[in-house]
Amino acid sequence: MPKTFLLIAAAWFAACLPAAAQTPTQEYLVGATLYTQSAAEYRALCYQAYNLAELRLLEALRRNPARPAVILDLDETVLDNSAYTGWQIATDQPYSPDTWARWTELAAAPLVPGAARFLHLADSLGVTLLYVSNRLENERDATQRNMQAHGLPQVQPDHFFLKSSSSDKTERRAAIIAQGYDILLLIGDNLGDFDGQWEKLPNPIRNERADAVRDQFGSRYIVLPNAIYGTWEGALYQFNWSASPGERDSMRRAGLRAVELE
């Protein structure tokens, strides 16, 4: 078959494809999702975080706190939701509250590596586990079922502080402290899991504030890796989640640092 004909046929076929098929809107998630699901390095980072959490917990308990407790996020901290992101990529569908609710209702999320051992250790030492998550109140039952299926401890309803209005967790953490708990550690994948000072701010300011409290990381704050999503991504879009896929792509590219080699 003549080469010219093949080139023309290929060009015609590409032109006939739907626009979404030519430029998948969720393609940017592929690398981060594969890293989470496939890389031994991702698992190692999770184990490292939880191993450090164990050491810090044992150190803190030597001070004999009256009501020791640990605050944990859930998504990408205890529960791995990368299968939902895989669905986004496979179907070229963006995140939506409806499809996310369908995912959580399955109660099928696997555990983040290292989470189960830490939770069982803390429970055995008499530490209260408090899950402060931006899952919604109507996801509570499915979330409990998911965690119970993995045999995790302390999954009674009063251990969950879920989102009812604001995604800022400051008030929920304050409510826990008001109950007299001694918070020994905070564990999460997003800096908003530790303090509200990182909420809805440009990334340069978030970075400056992280630098200012660098001694807290690995001490009081234990951070899990999450390259798929987070406040850092929203900051790239100036928190304009109504921006089109093309606009978001442009904003992501504008945020890159690149060397000039020519």
Domain ranges of the chain: 26-196+217-225
Cα(192)–Cα(22) distance, rounded to whole angstroms? Answer: 36
228, 33 in Cβ contact below 8 A?
A: yes
143, 178 in Cβ contact below 8 A?
A: no
Cα(93)–Cα(26) distance, rounded to whole angstroms? Answer: 7
Helix, strand, coil percent values for the chain (each to nearest 5): 55, 10, 35
Give residue 15's pLDDT: 46
Strand, helix or coil at 110?
coil
Give residue 3's pLDDT: 40
Cα(199)–Cα(230) distance, rounded to whole angstroms? Answer: 11
32, 39 in Cβ contact below 8 A?
A: no
Pairing of strands 68-72, 221-223: unpaired
Assigned fold of 26-196+217-225: Rossmann fold (3.40.50)
The region, left, alpha or beta by phi > 0 then psi within -120 to 50, assigned to residue 183 is beta
Task: For CA atoms 169, 197, 181, 129, give the dihedral sign.
Answer: positive
Quick: pLDDT tens for 25-39: 999 999 999 999 999
Cα(146)–Cα(262) distance, rounded to whole angstroms? Answer: 53
Give residue 22's pLDDT: 66
Quick: pLDDT tens for 158-215: 999 999 989 999 999 999 999 999 999 999 999 999 999 999 999 999 999 999 999 9
pTM for the whole structure? 0.91
Least confident of 3-12, 53-62, 174-183, 185-194: 3-12
Pairing of strands 182-188, 68-72: parallel
